[in-house]
Amino acid sequence: MGNWGNMMGGWGSGCYGGGYGWMGVMGIIMPLIFGIGIILLCFYMFRRNSSRVYTNGLSKQNNGLDILRERYARGEVDSTEYQSRKQDLEDK
């Protein structure tokens, strides 16, 4: 019975604050930091990609003349209206 304190690990070996010292604490903290880092990285990548998708359509620089050309090609405006509006847009 004199060795009963060491039978279940005792105070000085195997406990989180015991014989391992900071290694036991870091064994809990490091996976948490790693997991939070992965979540933040995923969040950053999602935000970065979603902003690219949103601005991709705007980066074509659809100015008024391009829109007018598209409308003329679809037949929404006739030749005289196209020429008149084109002149107005080029003057600005």
User: Over 90: is that where the pLDDT of 32 sits?
Assistant: yes
User: Over 50: is that where the pLDDT of 68 sits?
Assistant: yes
**Alpha-carbon gap, residue 75 to 27, rounded angstroms:** 69
User: Over 60: is that where the pLDDT of 13 sits?
Assistant: no
pTM of the model: 0.35
pLDDT given for residue 72 in this prediction: 92
Arithmetic mean of pLDDT, 51-64:
57
Sign of CA dihedral 31, 35, 38, 40: negative
Q: Where are the alpha helices (DSSP H) in the chain?
A: 4-7, 22-56, 64-74, 79-91
User: Over 90: is that where the pLDDT of 33 sits?
Assistant: yes
- Type of residue found at 44: Y
20: Cβ–Cβ under 8 A, 6 or more apart, which residues? 14, 27
pLDDT given for residue 59 in this prediction: 45
